[in-house]
Structure 1
Amino acid sequence: MSKGTVLVVSSSADTLELQGGKRAEIGVYLNELVVPAMALVAGGYEIVLATPNGKKPVIDAVSRDASHFNNDAAAFQKALDFFDSYPAMVNPVTLRTTVEQGLDSYAAVFVPGGHAPIVDLAQDEDMGTVLRHFHDTGKPTALLCHGPIALIAAVPQMKAFRAALDRDDMSGAKAVGGGWPYAGYKMTIFSNDEDKVAEEQLLHGRMKFYVGDALQAAGGIVTSNTKVFDPHLTEDRELITGQNPRSDHLVANALLAALER
């Protein structure tokens, strides 16, 4: 018998606009999506995958590598098979559908990263509705790597806030970021130092804004590890956040523990 259903909300974006009009191919990281999802299924939970447009997430090509699975070729293949064939992965629904059908039946929500959530989830009104529901009901809300940037979708003046971010105007963002449900929460996200490495080695351009700065502008208390790319987890009330791809198992375990509580 199922222990309950967890809503997995993923971006389906595949390109990120950088400063100067440049664009980079991006997506969702395979391990960030499937490691927690597989842990939930193994723990007795059903999952529903939702994206803003109902399309299957695009996996970032950089993440299609066994190095993200401790160089375990079998674990990497298992992850690929899960993404390619597990029913919830193959048949995502739209975020709007989950909102219209009601969120009360979901026990928790999980958002994986990769740079993709910056593009759509962070400025999706339905994402804001989902987050406010889980915040108001105190149900576990877990986000990984760049996934926590989706939290700004719950800023009441989200459009103005996002416009300020795209101008890299953090003071302007602070001015319109009031009323955020997660103000004063401790949280983590892919750090500025980590994104500077990504800019140089993967994106080949400068991002419009750094995601940690965005969360701080909204009122979050952002924590980071002492060494880049080392795993790091932060928990505060219903909120569970992991800093980077190597935090996948930490987030999965913390979410399962919170569900059991």
Structure 2
Amino acid sequence: MRRVLIVMSAADTWTRTDGSRYPTGYWAEEVAAPYERFVAAGFDVDFASPGGVLQPLDQHSADPQVAGPECGRWVEHAENALRKHGPLLALEDVELGTYDAVVLPGGHGPVVDLHQDANLGRVLVDADTRGAVIGAVCHGPAGLLSAVEPDGSWRFAGRRMAAFTDEEEQLFGTAELAPWLLASRLRQRGAMLTDGAAYQAHIERDGNLFTGQNPASSGPMAEAIVAALS
């Protein structure tokens, strides 16, 4: 049986450049859509986060005006999945070599903690070395930044990927006071980023690396991962 590890942020707030604290959490569709597809394919799924902390729901992802008319279903499915799997694994306790895929959903949390989490970096470098699948969607690719080699170079430099764009951050209203913008930072580190239309599904595959631009990309990215693992 294929095993998938979904790594979530533990952050519930995002400190802005003016010192204000912006509430954040996991984005329901980005957890639920991949989980649904992995379970339907017969995969065994675990959840992990820094310290095993269960992040709250990002309430924007439960607002039909923001997240679309299906958001209630995604919220219900995400909450059920997280309840079913009980306490999250602590990232520091994840055993290397265990999973066929490591997947990073978004919400703004990954730009708070996962981008610099050494334990996640350890898991990602191991997965990439083994050729295991790595997936990340929306702000999830911030977690890829944690994969730093001993010489300070970035493991994913030169790789083609998609992520939440600077345009989408501006449209969402969170760009102006952001300490840094994800797409710009990924490019600065050497990613070959491709931008699709704002808030429309867009995914990229570069070898074992699968990435999606925004919440609408969650399901298509997961389907591509399922196809690769099947």
Residues 72, 118 of structure 1: CA spacing in aligned structure 2 closer, same or farther, 3 A cutoff?
A: closer
Q: Rate the CA distance shift 1:118–1:69 in 2: closer, same or farther, 3 A.
A: closer
1:53 aligns with 2:65: no
Does 2:126 align with 1:191?
no
Change in Cα spacing, 1:126 to 1:232, as seen in structure 2 (3 Å) is: same
Corresponding residue number in structure 2 for 1:19: 17
Contact 1:31–1:63 at 8 Å: present in 2 too? yes
CA gap of 1:205–1:133, structure 2 versus 1, over 3 A, is same
- Report the AA paired with residue 32 of structure 2: V
For the pair 1:119 / 2:89, whether they are aligned, the reply is no
Query: Would the alpha carbon gap of residues 91 and 56 (structure 1) be closer, same or farther in structure 2, given more than 3 Å must change?
Result: same
CA contact (8 A) 1:68 1:245 kept: no
* CA 63–138 in structure 1, closer or farther in 2 if over 3 Å, else same: same
Partner of 2:178: 207
Alignment TM-score, normalising by the size of structure 2? 0.92
Q: Which amino acid aligns with 1:79?
A: H
Report Cα offsets for 1:234-257 as digits up to 9, x if no partner: 100110000001111111101111
Aligned residue number for residue 257 of structure 1:
227
Which of 178, 181, 191 matches 2:155? Answer: 181
Tell me how far 1:216 sits from its aligned partner. Answer: 0.9
Structure 1 partner of 2:200: 230
Count of residues in Structure 1 that have an aligned counterpart in Structure 2:
230
Query: What is the CA–CA distance in structure 2 between the aligned matches of 1:115 and 1:69, rounded to whole Å?
Result: 15
Instruction: Indicate conservation of the 8 Å contact 1:144/1:241, yes or no.
Output: yes
Partner residue in 2 for 1:153 = 146
- Alignment deviations for residues 42-88 of structure 1 (CA, whole Å, 9 cap, x no partner): 110111110002111221011124568752477346415524532x2
Output the CA distance in 1 between the equivalents of 2:132 and 2:45.
Answer: 15
Query: One-letter code of the match for 2:25?
Result: G
- State TM-score, norm by structure 1: 0.82
Amino acid at match of 1:75: R
Question: Which structure has the bigger radius of gyration?
Answer: 1
Amino acid at match of 1:105: T
What do the CA deviations read for 1:205-237 (whole angstroms, capped 9, x no partner)? 510111011111111101010x21111001001
Pairwise CA distance, 1:14: 0.7
The CA distance in 2 between the partners of 1:235 and 1:204, in whole Å, is 27
Distance 2:71 2:182 in 1: 32
The equivalent residue for 1:41 is 39
What secondary structure sits across from 1:7 in the alignment?
strand
Distance 1:75 1:135, change over 3 A: same
Higher helix share: 1
Identify unmatched segments of 5+ residues in structure 1.
158-176
Deviation at 1:183, TM superposition (A): 1.2
